[in-house]
């Protein structure tokens, strides 16, 4: 919600001008050598066409509910298995389900909610066949995966590919390369990921080192949750004069579970919570356990704590960190944190709490259930209703990242001392009479283009179109319509600083596709340029999703070592849909040699490709 005071704008103008001076100066410094995050490719995987078989299923009269025991990672997984292809077969459909008691339409993978667990070893190839039996088109993105050499599999509609039309199939095939840890997948077309098309994506590796022992390992997805399809909520959100008031979630879920108070539910919604339950995590007594948290939600940051347990943070977005003790943590949309839960004796049970930061909502409806609980139980004789006490300290009121300045990656990677290019970006919302509420990066409010920007770039580069070829390490101003597409072209290997200033009173979890970045700093107000040459480059936290707080800033550094077209966007479903997305075209020399795969050409040529996607352009008044 934009409430810029004139003084903010003045400072901004000054700051922006200074950045451009710096930008110029920085071009003079080219690093001789850059430590690449990505080593050269290894050997080809073997072919073993053994399709993945879904976990057994306990029906209990809810055929649509995924048995969450599937999210417990198997202790017999062979992390040393030779590289192989791992096959998954997904049919997408609309289902009617009541995860927390309230019936609604969900989008489901293989008829169940939430999505299935996907697992691979580092170096494996994932082959995922998606058959779209839904009424609308869709696409899948593999959040945090580098897609090195497989940019077309990144699944970002309007950027790297087109949506898969109803009745069509698409084969995603890509490597789990040069990464390990906790990731997730989700639809990347309009806001439909929040309607059920998401799940965990775990990459094992013998190289993974966790500073602590653990007896079990499982995924815990936390999320805000709406009782409506996202497309029912979008028009009101994007309507003129709406002050960018995002739809407020009804409640929260853990691994797709929660119990809504049916007495608060009014027509036309129907509620029957007789089968709805809280998630139960049965843990073996006297042992430590790993919980991999993923915020798969739309909009809310969550505060997570386990009563009477001090836990240790050991992984952030697929990066192992030196164990860091804490009693609660906050997790924003798309972020992942693994924790180790310390041993407890048999017979005890505790509440695991995930609470949305309601202060970050435009309004707090009376019926809101901001907290969802799960039960952590040591042995089956433990009380079904824990009597444990919540931690007394306050989680705070603001939506921002936990302080990660003390969190260090276990495997140190120095950030380059200096960047080649500094890109100043301002994030903002603009509203007004006869204008929709739109999110901006600088002067651009993204709209997915019919022909993905990647395909346009390949075409432009291959035909020596000057507006694609000549600009070096700068914004492509004539290749694309700058009102809709902010594309920065980068030579491969460039070290890039992205300095974002947030002029909005909301927070934004920014995600960069195709790369991990170092978080060099984040805070409130403005980054003081006087500090630019004294940033800590000694093993700062690396991750793929970082929060910029309200009226705050964030400075990230990355090595543009992965050729392709990569989105950088706010991961709040409403904000990216409102236009808060920009792109990097990395390594044009490589990109120009790419042939567009036939199945990508096919979906892009399909007349129904845009079905169910963003509101049509003619619905916008500007
Ligand atoms: Cu989690 Cu653009 O994605
Ligand atoms: Cu945002």
- The residue whose CA has the least distance to atom 1 of ligand 1 is 143
Tell me, using a 6 A CB cutoff, whether residue 511 lines ligand 1: yes
If you average pLDDT over residues 613-617, what whole number do you get?
68
Q: CA quadruple 354, 359, 362, 363: dihedral positive or negative? A: positive
182-194 burial code (b ≥16 CB/10 A, e <16): bbbbbbbbbbbbb
Q: Which two tokens stand for residue 613?
A: 């996607």
Q: What is the pLDDT of residue 619?
A: 53
Tell me, using a 6 A CB cutoff, whether residue 146 lines ligand 1: no
Tell me, using a 6 A CB cutoff, whether residue 336 lines ligand 1: no
High-pLDDT (> 70) share of the chain, %: 88
Identify any residues that bridge with 141 across adjacent strands, giving them in sequence order. 186
Kindly give the number of the ligand 1 atom that is closest to the alpha carbon of 143. Answer: 1
- The number of the ligand nearest the C-alpha atom of 299 reads 2
Q: What is the pLDDT of residue 235?
A: 83
Q: Comparing C-alpha atoms, which of 321, 528, 331 is closest to residue 405?
A: 321
Q: Which two tokens stand for residue 228?
A: 């409506």
Q: Comparing C-alpha atoms, which of 427, 432, 471 is closest to residue 445?
A: 427
DSSP for 127-154, please give it.
EEEEEE-SSS-B-EEEET---TT-GGGG
Per-residue HEC secondary structure of 465-514 comes to CHHHHCCCCCECCCCCCCCCCCEEEECCCEEEEEEEEECCCCCEEEEECC
pLDDT digits (tens, 9 = 90+) for 20-67: 444 443 433 333 233 333 433 333 444 445 566 665 566 678 999 999
pLDDT for residue 90 is more than 80? yes
Q: What is the pLDDT of residue 618?
A: 52
Contacts of 470 (CB under 8 A, 6+ apart): none
Tell me, using a 6 A CB cutoff, whether residue 334 lines ligand 1: yes
If you average pLDDT over residues 84-110, what whole number do you get?
98
- The number of the ligand nearest the C-alpha atom of 183 reads 1
pLDDT digits (tens, 9 = 90+) for 375-434: 999 977 777 899 999 999 988 888 999 988 889 999 999 999 999 999 999 999 886 545
- Helix H or strand E segment including 552: strand 552-560
Q: Is 537 in contact with 416 (CB distance < 8 Å)? A: yes
Q: What is the DSSP letter of 298?
A: S
How many whole angstroms from 324 Cα to the centroid of ligand 1?
A: 27
Identify any residues that bridge with 293 across adjacent strands, giving them in sequence order. 220, 337
pLDDT for residue 348 is more than 80? yes
If you average pLDDT over residues 350-369, what whole number do you get?
95
Q: What is the pLDDT of residue 490?
A: 98
Cβ count near 363 (within 10 Å)? 8
pLDDT digits (tens, 9 = 90+) for 209-243: 998 999 999 999 999 999 999 999 988 888 777 77
Residues with CB under 5 A from ligand 2 (ion): 508, 570, 572, 575
What is the C-alpha to C-alpha distance for residues 279 and 142, in angstroms, rounded to an integer? 25
Reduced to 3 states (helix: H, G, I; strand: E, B; else coil), residue 548 is strand
Backbone angle region of 396, left / alpha / beta, with phi > 0 → left and psi within -120 to 50 → alpha: left
Give the CA distances from residue 290 to residues 180, 181, 194, 216, in Å, rounded to whole numbers and listed in that order.
15, 12, 26, 6
Q: Is 423 in contact with 486 (CB distance < 8 Å)? A: no
Exposed, middle or buried by CB within 10 Å (0-12, 13-18, 19+), for 208?
middle
- Helix H or strand E segment including 426: strand 421-432
Tell me, using a 6 A CB cutoff, whether residue 575 lines ligand 1: no
pTM of the predicted structure, to 2 decimals: 0.91
How many whole angstroms from 17 Cα to the centroid of ligand 1?
A: 31
How many whole angstroms from 584 Cα to the centroid of ligand 1?
A: 14
Q: What is the pLDDT of residue 45?
A: 40
- The residue whose CA has the least distance to atom 3 of ligand 1 is 143
Cβ count near 6 (within 10 Å)? 7
Q: What is the CA radius of gyration of the chain?
A: 23
Pairing of strands 289-295, 336-341: antiparallel
pLDDT digits (tens, 9 = 90+) for 549-562: 999 999 999 999 99
Q: Which two tokens stand for residue 308?
A: 């009477």
If you average pLDDT over residues 260-286, what whole number do you get?
96
If you average pLDDT over residues 104-124, what whole number do you get?
98
| Greater model confidence, 264 or 22 | 264
pLDDT digits (tens, 9 = 90+) for 515-565: 999 999 999 999 998 999 899 999 999 999 999 999 999 999 999 999 999
Identify any residues that bridge with 104 across adjacent strands, giving them in sequence order. 97
Kindly give the number of the ligand 1 atom that is closest to the alpha carbon of 567. Answer: 2
Tell me, using a 6 A CB cutoff, whether residue 141 lines ligand 1: yes
Q: What is the pLDDT of residue 617?
A: 53
Q: What's the mean pLDDT when you consider all of the chain? A: 90
Q: What is the DSSP letter of 179?
A: -
φ, ψ for residue 337, nearest 5 deg: -135, 125
Q: What is the pLDDT of residue 12?
A: 44
Domains along the chain with CATH numbers: 223-406 (2.60.40.420), 421-620 (2.60.40.420)
Q: What is the pLDDT of residue 51?
A: 61
Q: What is the pLDDT of residue 432?
A: 54
Q: Which two tokens stand for residue 619?
A: 């619905």
- The number of the ligand nearest the C-alpha atom of 144 reads 1
Cβ count near 494 (within 10 Å)? 22
What is the C-alpha to C-alpha distance for residues 610 and 450, in angstroms, rounded to an integer? 8
- Helix H or strand E segment including 432: strand 421-432
Kindly give the number of the ligand 1 atom that is closest to the alpha carbon of 193. Answer: 1
Give the CA distances from residue 122 to residues 45, 318, 334, 527, in Å, rounded to whole numbers and listed in that order.
11, 12, 21, 37
Contacts of 409 (CB under 8 A, 6+ apart): 319, 320, 321, 322, 539, 541, 542
pLDDT digits (tens, 9 = 90+) for 585-607: 999 999 999 999 999 999 999 98
Tell me, using a 6 A CB cutoff, whether residue 227 lines ligand 1: no
What is the C-alpha to C-alpha distance for residues 549 and 571, in angstroms, rounded to an integer? 13
Task: State the distance between the two ends of the chain, measured CA to CA, in whole angstroms.
Answer: 19
How many whole angstroms from 569 Cα to the centroid of ligand 1?
A: 8
Q: What is the pLDDT of residue 560?
A: 98
Q: Which two tokens stand for residue 171?
A: 């084969």
Reduced to 3 states (helix: H, G, I; strand: E, B; else coil), residue 619 is helix
Kindly give the number of the ligand 1 atom that is closest to the alpha carbon of 581. Answer: 2
Q: What is the pLDDT of residue 399?
A: 92
Q: What is the pLDDT of residue 237?
A: 86
Q: What is the pLDDT of residue 622?
A: 39
Give the CA distances from residue 194 to residues 62, 139, 560, in Å, rounded to whole numbers and listed in that order.
21, 13, 30
Q: What is the pLDDT of residue 381?
A: 75
Q: What is the pLDDT of residue 421?
A: 97
Q: CA quadruple 208, 123, 140, 269: dihedral positive or negative? A: negative
Reduced to 3 states (helix: H, G, I; strand: E, B; else coil), residue 585 is strand
Tell me, using a 6 A CB cutoff, whether residue 447 lines ligand 1: no
How many whole angstroms from 464 Cα to the centroid of ligand 1?
A: 31
Q: What is the pLDDT of residue 435?
A: 60
- Look-up of token digits 């020596």: 464
- Look-up of token digits 């970050």: 360
How many whole angstroms from 200 Cα to the centroid of ligand 2?
A: 22
């Amino acid at each position: 919600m934009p409430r810029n005071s004139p003084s903010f704008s003045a400072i901004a103008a000054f700051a922006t001008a200074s950045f451009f001076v710096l930008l110029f100066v920085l071009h003079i410094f080219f690093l001789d050598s850059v430590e690449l995050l990505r080593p050269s490719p290894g050997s080809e995987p073997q072919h073993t066409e053994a399709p993945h078989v879904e976990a057994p299923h306990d029906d209990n009269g809810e055929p649509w509910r995924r048995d969450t025991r599937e999210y417990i990672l198997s202790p017999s997984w062979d992390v040393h298995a030779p590289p192989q292809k791992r096959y998954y077969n997904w049919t997408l459909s609309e289902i009617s389900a009541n995860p927390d008691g309230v019936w609604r339409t969900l989008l489901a993978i293989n008829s169940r909610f939430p999505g299935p667990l996907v697992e691979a070893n580092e170096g494996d190839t994932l082959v995922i066949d998606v058959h779209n039996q839904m009424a609308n088109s869709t696409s899948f993105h593999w959040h945090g995966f580098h897609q090195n050499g497989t940019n077309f599999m990144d699944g970002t509609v309007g950027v790297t590919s087109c949506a898969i039309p109803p009745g069509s199939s698409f084969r995603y095939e890509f490597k789990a390369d040069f990464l390990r840890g906790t990731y997730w997948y989700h639809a990347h077309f309009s806001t439909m990921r929040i309607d059920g098309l998401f799940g965990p994506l775990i990459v094992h590796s013998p190289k993974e080192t966790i500073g602590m022992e653990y007896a079990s390992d499982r995924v815990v997805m936390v999320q805000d949750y709406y009782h409506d399809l996202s497309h029912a909520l979008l028009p009101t959100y994007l309507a003129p004069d709406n002050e960018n008031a995002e739809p407020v979630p009804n409640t929260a879920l853990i691994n797709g579970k929660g119990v809504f108070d049916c007495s608060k539910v009014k027509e036309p919604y129907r509620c029957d919570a007789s089968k709805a339950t809280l998630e139960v995590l049965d843990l073996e007594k006297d042992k430590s356990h790993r919980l991999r948290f993923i915020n798969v939600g739309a909009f809310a940051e969550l505060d997570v704590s386990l009563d009477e347990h001090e836990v240790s943070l050991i992984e952030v977005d697929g990066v192992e960190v030196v164990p860091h003790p804490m009693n609660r943590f906050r997790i924003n949309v798309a972020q992942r944190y693994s924790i180790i839960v310390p041993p407890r004796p048999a017979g005890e049970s505790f509440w695991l709490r995930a609470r949305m930061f309601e202060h970050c909502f435009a309004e707090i409806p009376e019926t809101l259930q901001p907290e969802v609980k799960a039960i952590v139980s040591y042995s089956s004789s433990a009380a079904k209703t824990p009597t444990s006490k919540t931690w007394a300290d306050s989680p705070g009121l603001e939506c921002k990242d936990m302080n990660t300045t003390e969190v260090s990656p276990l495997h140190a990677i120095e950030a380059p001392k200096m960047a080649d290019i500094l890109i100043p970006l301002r994030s903002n919302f603009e509203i007004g009479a006869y204008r929709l509420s739109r999110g901006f990066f600088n002067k651009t409010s993204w709209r997915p283009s019919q022909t993905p920007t990647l395909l346009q770039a390949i075409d432009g580069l291959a035909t020596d179109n000057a507006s694609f070829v000549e600009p070096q390490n700068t914004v492509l101003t004539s290749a694309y319509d700058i009102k809709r597409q902010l594309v920065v072209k980068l030579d491969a290997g460039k070290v890039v600083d992205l300095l974002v200033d947030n002029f909005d009173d909301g927070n934004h979890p920014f995600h960069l596709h195709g790369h991990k970045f170092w978080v060099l700093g984040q805070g409130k107000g403005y980054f003081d340029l006087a500090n630019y040459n004294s940033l800590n480059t000694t093993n700062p936290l690396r991750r793929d999703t970082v929060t910029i707080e309200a009226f705050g800033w964030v400075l990230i550094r990355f090595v543009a070592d992965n050729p392709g077209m990569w989105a950088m966007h706010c991961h709040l479903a409403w904000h990216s849909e409102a236009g808060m997305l920009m792109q990097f075209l990395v390594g044009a020399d490589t990109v120009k040699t790419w042939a567009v795969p036939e199945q990508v050409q096919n979906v892009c040529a399909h007349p129904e490709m845009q079905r169910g996607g963003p509101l049509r352009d003619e619905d916008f008044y500007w």
